[in-house]
Amino acid sequence: MIEQKIGRKTASSTFTVELGKVKEFALALGDSHPDYQTGDAIPPTFATVIDFWSGDSSMASLLKLNMEKVLHGGQEFEYLGKIRPGDVITASGEVENAYSKAGMNFYIVRKTYQNQQGKTVLISR
């Protein structure tokens, strides 16, 4: 039954990358890399900011998850291009795999992030 959720897609969400958010995130991480202060680079896990601040909660709704019982088991990021302040990033998600193990349900969600030119700059799972 859980395998029937493979291929389900979320609505897309959009986020404008602001230098202030990049600096704020780096500060929260305790990382004072100078490129994060100028916007020449972003922290590798900045996609979490995009997800939280774009209001994307559609995956929980799509999978009918009780967020009080969800454990985030891991995440990976594959950067295919640069994300810079001023970029408008559109993220969309799809259930890539779903399985049950030891009485728990596991979902692998692939999120694709495209910039304002339609170029895929990041994939996360």
pLDDT in tens, 9-64: 988 889 999 999 999 999 999 999 999 999 999 999 998 888 877 765 567 777 88
- The first and second tokens of residue 66, run together, are 């009780």
Are the CB atoms for 26 and 48 separated by under 8 Å?
A: no
Of all residues in the chain, the percent with pLDDT exceeding 90 is 64
Which pLDDT score, from 0 to 100, does residue 71 have?
Answer: 79
Which pLDDT score, from 0 to 100, does residue 97 have?
Answer: 94
Which pLDDT score, from 0 to 100, does residue 57 have?
Answer: 58
- The first and second tokens of residue 37, run together, are 């202060």
Which pLDDT score, from 0 to 100, does residue 36 have?
Answer: 94
Strand 88-101 relative to strand 13-16, pairing: antiparallel
